[in-house]
Amino acid sequence: MKTRDRYDVIVAGGGTAGAIAAIAAARTGARTLVVEPHSYLGGNLSLGMNLLGAADAEGYWALGGIGRELIERLIPIHGATAPQLDPQFGSILAHDPEMLKVALLEMAVAEELDILFHAIVVGCVSGNGSVTGLEVATKAGVRTIEASAIVDATGDADILAAAGGSFEHGRGPDRKSQPASRIFRVGGVDMKRVFDYLAENPADIKPPRGWTGDTYDIDALRATPGATIEAFGDLIRRAKKAGDWTIPRWRLGLYTLPDRDEVGVNVTRVHGIDGTNPDDVSRAEVVTVLQMAEVVRFLQKYVPGFEHARISSAPHQVGIRETRRLRGSHILDTDDVMSGRDFDDQVGRGAYPLDVHDVEPGKGGSVLWPIKRSFGIPLGCLVPEELDGLVVAGRAISATHEAAGSTRGQAVCMVTGHAAGTLAALASRQQSVHKVPHTQLQATLLEQGAILERSEHIDAHAH
């Protein structure tokens, strides 16, 4: 495929939100280009972290539309599990990251989406209060590509910032953000022995301080396809005392898939990282890779079932939890998220737990509250008031530092990506993002299977 000079819609970033946004825009009839720095679509979906919050803690779907379609393509080929209720996270759903990347690309190609890999957006074209194009750097140089509407799915609100839009950074005036982490996968694991250890040491599976979920039943955990496990605090304390643990975190997360000897591992952590600063990000890359090696040594030495563990997959980059966020006409806050609030102009629902990691080094903790009732995401969280031609998707939507602990979840990013891509496609016909009535956007999203109301239980079609 050859990149054109002009498109109806350009999506900056082909990650979790951007890939879904681009497919949505193309499906809504827009000639669409997605610009992605890496060689595949999906971003952090490719890390292998279980998908939390596809449904809320009462079992009602929050994820619909194109994101749900992606999961449903994977389930019959054993690339994903059906969602299950979980006592600590509300709901869980496991997937194979490599199979997911292929399925997502198949969906993109089916919609005749133009894809520009190995390219990064370095600037935008704007004037008279509107964004009209992007400056894209490739191996062949920098080119300018125009569009009627643009989706900022960079994760860092790069386009919004370049165009002079309003945003917050981190938790506010001090700009401090949640720490960066590197999720990776380990093979050669005997999960039966892991579960046996936890059954014999139940204190090592209790929810950490700051979590409001219930304690696991080990037999139920064994029977859960695609479990998410937070454990081994006692073993970590023992390792730290012996000089075998330096990471500022006190629990280790595991993500399993049925009948696999491979698990995802979530425990690395580095504070003081500004994800918009390349020097900081480079430091985080180095530190988390070294921590990854330390974690494997710890697992092999201390955790039964991991004696022969090995790294089977390392991620494309360190994971950044937060940087810039749009300051929209509505800013989602903790009460919105935890109360399951609905809005007249909502364009999707979220149910990823309220998950906020300590921004200060030395504490190593986090708050994690399951979402009992999924919350609505208003259109005002995606659209800059002072700019036309631009829609924001993913973890950079309008939310407080605390509420962003939920809206940054992968399932929520797919939801906002779907809404943003569809809005951009409709706006490209009307030459204005602000002129698209929310009722028209909602009707189009519903036609595409999106979930706007809390109405469908995950067990509705189980039999």
Query: What pLDDT is stored for residue 453 in this prediction?
Result: 97
Query: Which residues make up the CATH 3.50.50.60 domain(s) of the chain?
Result: 6-81+94-173+321-354+372-447
Residue 370 phi/psi, 5-degree rounding, is -60, 150
Query: Structure pTM?
Result: 0.97
- Please give the C-alpha separations between residue 17 and each of 66, 327, 413, 419, 422, in angstroms, as whole numbers: 11, 18, 5, 10, 12
Enter the tokens of residue 36. 């992605």
Enter the tokens of residue 21. 């946004």
Residues 6+ away with beta carbon under 8 Å from 441 = 347, 379, 419, 422, 423, 426
Query: What pLDDT is stored for residue 47 in this prediction?
Result: 83
Query: What pLDDT is stored for residue 206 in this prediction?
Result: 87
Residues 6+ away with beta carbon under 8 Å from 241 = none
Query: What pLDDT is stored for residue 360 in this prediction?
Result: 85
- C-alpha dihedral over 205, 206, 211, 217, to 10 degrees? 80
Instruction: Find the angle CA(438)-CA(396)-CA(278) to the nearest 5 degrees.
Output: 155
Instruction: Give dist(CA 399, CA 417) in Å, integer.
Output: 16
**If we measure between CA atoms, which residue out of 46, 7, 43 comes closest to residue 154?**
43
449 residue type, one letter: G
Instruction: Find the angle CA(163)-CA(169)-CA(175) to the nearest 5 degrees.
Output: 140
**If we measure between CA atoms, which residue out of 106, 50, 110 comes closest to residue 83?**
50
CA atoms within 13 A on the CB side of 417: 37
6-81+94-173+321-354+372-447: which CATH topology? FAD/NAD(P)-binding domain (3.50.50)
Query: What pLDDT is stored for residue 363 in this prediction?
Result: 61
Residues 6+ away with beta carbon under 8 Å from 423 = 149, 347, 379, 382, 383, 391, 433, 436, 441
- Please give the C-alpha separations between residue 215 and each of 210, 231, 406, in angstroms, as whole numbers: 13, 11, 21
Query: What pLDDT is stored for residue 463 in this prediction?
Result: 35
Q: What is the pLDDT of residues 305-317, one digit of tens each?
A: 999 999 999 888 9
| H helical segments located in 348-452 | 404-407, 410-430, 438-447
- To the nearest 10 degrees (0 to 180), the angle between helices 65-74 and 16-27 is 110
The low-confidence residues of the chain, meaning pLDDT below 50, are 463
Helix (H, G, I), strand (E, B) or coil at 112: coil
Q: What is the pLDDT of residues 216-266, one digit of tens each?
A: 989 999 999 999 999 999 999 999 999 999 999 989 999 999 999 999 999
Instruction: Give dist(CA 364, CA 181) in Å, integer.
Output: 12
Q: What is the pLDDT of residues 166-212, one digit of tens each?
A: 999 999 888 899 999 999 999 999 999 999 999 999 999 988 888 99
User: Beta 141-152 vs 130-138: how paired, if at all?
Assistant: antiparallel
Instruction: Give dist(CA 189, CA 394) in Å, integer.
Output: 33
